[in-house]
Structure formats: C-alpha cells, structure tokens
Structure 1
C-alpha cells in the first residue's frame, strides 16, 4: 500500500556525519603539521623492469635520483599528498552536507497533504501515512491478547492491560513511557504449523519496522528452560532471528530484569 511509505528524517544522521568529518579533519591537520617540512618537494616516478625509481627536483630544477636509503623522503611526500587530497574531499563533503541541511525539509511531502482543506482531505489518500494512521492500521493487522491461557489479573500495566508477570508490566510501562507502540501477546504462525504468542510486538515509529519481544522470566529453572528454549529454535526456523526481528530479555530468580540492558535494546532497535 502506498500509504505505508515512511520518509525517514536524516537530519541527525547527517549532522553526526559532519561532526565525524570534522574529527577526521583535525587528525589530518595534525599529521600535515608533522609533514610540513615536505612542503615544495616534488617527486617524479620512473617505471623500470625491476620496479620504480624516484626523483626529486632540486633548487635549479634538475632531477636528482633518490637512493633506496633515502626512500623515506618519498614515502613522506606521497603521504602528505594523499592527506591533502583527502582533506580536500572532506571539505567538499562537509560543504555539500551542510548546504543540503540548510534547505532540507524532511516533512515537505507530508506537508502537502496537511495543507489541504478538510473537504479535499476527505477525498484524498495521502502517499505518506501519518504515524497515527499507520499505528492504527498496524494494530488492526496484528490483534493482541491472542494467548488463550488464563491471566490471573495480578499485574496491570499503566495502559490498563492485564499481563502475566511483574517483568511484563515493567516492559509494557517502559514502552508506553517511551511512546513505543506495542501489542501484548499477538499471534504468529510458525513454520512447523504451530502458533505462538510472543509477549509483545513492538514498533519502531521512525523506521516503521516491527519486532517481536519475548521475555524469559526463569531461565535458571530447569523445567522452565526445557519448556521455553525450544521456542527460540522454532522462532529461528520461522525467520524470527534475534537482533533482526526478534528481541529477547531474560532474568533469573537471583538476577532480576536488567533495566539498563532493556533500555539499551530499546535505544538500539526501537528509537
């Protein structure tokens, strides 16, 4: 569907690239300062059967053969020339990115629809679906609460949902706090014909990519591990790969849910 297109705002990435180029530029200028005594030295190359011969031009314009023991002069001269060429390209790239950012409007295409009067909006299907419209369709496509195993109702999320564990409540509340759309216990069909209900389906609004999030609450308990670890294998066989479209969190009786690690995963995949 055309409306599912998402134009990603590249402003921060481009600004970060400018900063990276500036850091490389500082290092280059430092290296060029060390090679400043090579200023004005011109090296000529002559190809021979046995390899290459190098010459430099003296003050009278005469070519002087550079002996092998003095080859370090050639290396420094070539290195300096290379640094200067790279520096020129960095400055060009930096100028082009900065000029692009000056005129860049990541919402320009969406603005065309937003500026239409209400009468036109009722009859026009926008090429770019707004985040709210996309999320609504995403939720309709992936209905939640498909796990038929009863919930005892002990844990209630800030969004008013009943979940099965304290850690699931912590995760759901984190998603809500960080404005990450999520669906609790959606259904996914596995390659073996069976169906599973991962704990969450979460959405990166910026990229509009979905991830399943599965939490394993007692990986130190043998019976729990025997029952649940085959699920990871079934997920992989069905194309749900950790880091690609599956995120996993876990805990033990002595080591509770690591919130620092959870937040790192949220930043990495969902922001």
Structure 2
C-alpha cells in the first residue's frame, strides 16, 4: 500500500517570564496604531532550521525529514530570509545557536523564524543526544535577551510528536456536486478534535505524521500554503488554511487505495500572541 507513514509532534507550552521594558510613559517606543508589522526593513531576517534525522539513542531514523528541510530552505529563501540549517545537533549545540542568534543586532530585520524537525513526546523535543523543553526555543528571544526584536514577529514551527495516540477521525457527511442538477452525499474523515475551540499550543498526546519519501503532513502543507498565498494573505489566514488542509486531507497511500475514510488524521494548532498582521510583501 505504499510507504508506511511514521509518527512525529510536540507541546508548545508558553511560560511568562518578565515584563518588557517600557518608556517613561509606560509604553514601548514602537507604534501602537499600525495594524500590520513593518516588513520593509533592509533585511527580512534569519530562518533557523534544526533538522534531526539521526539520534544517539534508540530513537528511529526520521526518513523523509531531509525533504522537509529542502522544501523549507527553498520556501524561506523565496520569502527573502537568510536561511541557516543545522543537522542532528545536540541540545547544547542548539542552545548555543539560539543564544548566538539572539545576541546579534536585528535592527535592520523584519522578523525571526525557527523551525524544528524532530521526534518528540509530551513536553519534550529530542536533540541528537537528549530531549529538551520547547521553552528552550524562544526563551532567548524575549525583550530582555533580544531587544532588537522587540515589536517584531518571532515565529516558531515545530514538527514533532507529543504523544502516541492516533487520531482515527470521525465521519461527517460531505455533499458533493455530481453535475449541474444532482448532489450526492459522501463521507470523509476529519479529526476527532476538529470543530472544538481549544486554545492549547497543540493537540496533546497525539502523533504527527511523516512519510519517509514525501515528508511530513504539517511541513509540506505549510510550504504549499505559504508558497501559494504569501503575497496576498496575512500569515494567520495562511496558517488557518494549513489547519484546514491537514484536517481534511489524507495520505497519498490512502488516496491511491481508495481508503480515504480510514486514513490516520492530524490536527495542527496555532497559538498566537501576535498583535498585528503579518504580510510577507
């Protein structure tokens, strides 16, 4: 039935640290009236990609992750980012890269992107040697550690598992227009968690799917939707399209075998603390 999909996903728990520094009027020096982030600095910014295929432990090799990495590099290059990719780093090496990037001057840059491609579990992301908490990724980029990024979007995309539960989906009636005069009821599969408003970082305890040849559901959808809509839509709208594609999509193997209703499902989730719209134009 084709290549076997493998599991991947992770928690995205956000922890409050300290308040950002304010001026004598109790406000930051940034404009509070603009509805969009200013994205016309001399440089777009850096996109960090931490790609994990091999591990020192007994974790399985993540076949297909290089497809995700290559597609992400192409995407962010087209979006005018300076792309830096790292393969199979240890936890300490990841920390060092993040601290180094955070300490540089981002005054002339629009924003920051960090992407993780790895194995995970509930509240764990795996580096080559050990696991770490997701907070490691953004703790270096708060207003105290990266002041030149204050008021600028900092975007983190995490492809990893946060449990071992499988979302088998729940059937829902879907009407299809057969011709100009006839509609036909058909059944598709959507995730169990679909249509519930839960403002969690991600759906806890569940797997995220990756194909050994074609890459992960999430990253491939992210690349497709950003490539298609980046010049006309704001980022949150595009990420909603990613949610929709993943929720209603199914694996190529299931499509080929006409087993759409039985495909394993997945529900991506967005936790947004953005205060303005992002347009990559």
TM-score by length of 2: 0.27
**Greater helix proportion:** 1
Q: Which has the higher contact order (CA 8 A, sep 6+)?
A: 2
TM-score by length of 1: 0.27
